[in-house]
Structure 1
Amino acid sequence: MIKCRNLTKKYGNNTVVDNISFEIEQGEVFALLGSNGAGKTTTIKMILNLTKKTSGDIYIKDKVKIGYSPERPSFYEMLTGYEHLKFYGELQKISKKELKNEILKVLDIVGLENNKTKVKGYSKGMRQRLSIAQALLGNPELLILDEPTSDLDVIGRNTIMDLILELQKKGKTIVINSHILNDIERTCNSGIIINKGRIVVNWEKDKTGRSLDEIFIEGVGNYEYK
């Protein structure tokens, strides 16, 4: 689905992403792991062409549709979730005939189908689910989720992780940027651990018999969140 080769991003003399290479297979849930500031979000933005790469190559399957949920999604606070998705669906030029059904479908998938509350009244977990619903508009094959469980409590995190597993069952390829190892170990098939812009570990679930915590600490050192 995605191949990155020798991907590098520099800002002046500061190398944020340093010559990394990895592949993401169709149908898997793939993790970009690392502490805050490791270069994960910059990598995502280069894949999405939101940030220009300094060097290297990115290959993405031809004509693949991509849905993106940013680390800090922004919403129109005075709109309901339905109204917000309607606005973005119109920007995507989804036909009026299809848009209503599609909005109802994605709201049902994320568990917000019966909520009439304006976004200003949403909890953090509801906002994350609305952001994922927005990413699902247009029925993309590939979803890129940047810190989807950041700042959520345990219940909120479990809800998002359950949702991600259900989306994988529906055939989605999913890329997750996170520093919360428990969430990644539960949902992801494989991934890379980045430290100071470089890949320090290529991780595959259940290959070593060791916990992701152990592998991460060996590659990066101590971290704050679990």
Structure 2
Amino acid sequence: MLKCRDLRKIYQKKCVVDNLSFSVKEGEVFALLGSNGAGKTTTIKMILELIPKDGGTVKRAHGVQVGYSPETPYFHPFLTGREVLGFYGGLQGISKEDLRREIPELLKRAGLEESNTKVKHYSKGMLQRLALAQALLGDPKLLILDEPTAGLDAMGRLEMMHTIQALKKEGKTILINSHILNDIERVCDRGIIMKKGRLIYEWENGKSGKSLEEIFVEQIGGIE
């Protein structure tokens, strides 16, 4: 579904992603892991062509639509959640008839009630939920979720994980970046651990007999 080969990104003479290679199989949930500054979000932005690569290649399966939920979502503060989805759906060329059917379903799936509440009154967790709903517009086959549980309380995190598991059962392929290792272990099949822009460990759920937290600490060498 997705293949990255020798990805490289340099900022101000510093290599923040260094010859990174990995692949994501169709129908799996794949994790990008690492401490702050490891290069995870930069990698995602190169995959999405939001920033240029300084080297390497990104290949997606032909014709695959991508849905993206950013780490820090921003939506126009004077729109409601429904209006936000309508706006982005229009940008994607989704018909008004399809949006009338799709938007209520997406708001429900993301755990947001339809209301006249403006986005400026949303909590951080509500913004994360709306970002997921926006990512699901148009029923994309590949989802890229950057810190999807940031700002959610314990129940919200659990609901988000259940949603991701349901999306996997529907055949979605998901690339996820998160610092919450228990969540990753709950929903992901495989992943990689990055340190200073480099791949240092390839993880497969349940293969080593150790918890992901144990592996992470061993590979990173403690809290950075």
TM-score (norm 1): 0.94
Once the two structures are superposed, residues 37-73 of structure 1 have per-residue CA deviations (whole angstroms, 9 ceiling, x without a partner) of 1000010011001111111111110010000000000
- Whether 1:172 aligns to 2:187 is no
Partner of 2:130: 130
How far does residue 113 in structure 1 lie from its aligned partner after superposition?
Answer: 4.3
Select between 168-177 and 104-113 the one with higher mean Cα deviation: 104-113
Select between 9-18 and 202-211 the one with higher mean Cα deviation: 9-18
Tell me if the contact between 2:104 and 2:114 (Cα under 8 Å) persists in the aligned partners.
no
Consecutive unaligned residues of structure 2, counting only runs of 5 or more, are none
Once the two structures are superposed, residues 123-146 of structure 1 have per-residue CA deviations (whole angstroms, 9 ceiling, x without a partner) of 222211110000111110000011
Q: CA RMSD in A?
A: 1.4
How far does residue 81 in structure 1 lie from its aligned partner after superposition?
Answer: 0.8
Separation in 2, partners of 1:83, 1:68: 18
Separation in 1, partners of 2:223, 2:98: 45
TM-score (norm 2): 0.95
Once the two structures are superposed, residues 147-177 of structure 1 have per-residue CA deviations (whole angstroms, 9 ceiling, x without a partner) of 1112333222222112111111111111111
Q: Which stretches of structure 1, 4 residues or longer, exceed 3 Å deviation after superposition? A: 113-116
- The change in CA–CA distance for 1:155 and 1:222 in structure 2 (over 3 A counts) is farther
Partner of 2:77: 77
How far does residue 121 in structure 1 lie from its aligned partner after superposition?
Answer: 2.6
How far does residue 116 in structure 1 lie from its aligned partner after superposition?
Answer: 4.0
User: SS in structure 2 opposite 1:206?
Assistant: coil
Separation in 1, partners of 2:13, 2:63: 35
Separation in 1, partners of 2:190, 2:55: 25
Partner of 2:92: 92
Separation in 1, partners of 2:45, 2:168: 22
* Percentage of matched positions with identical amino acids: 60
Consecutive unaligned residues of structure 1, counting only runs of 5 or more, are none
Separation in 2, partners of 1:39, 1:100: 38
Partner of 1:28: 28
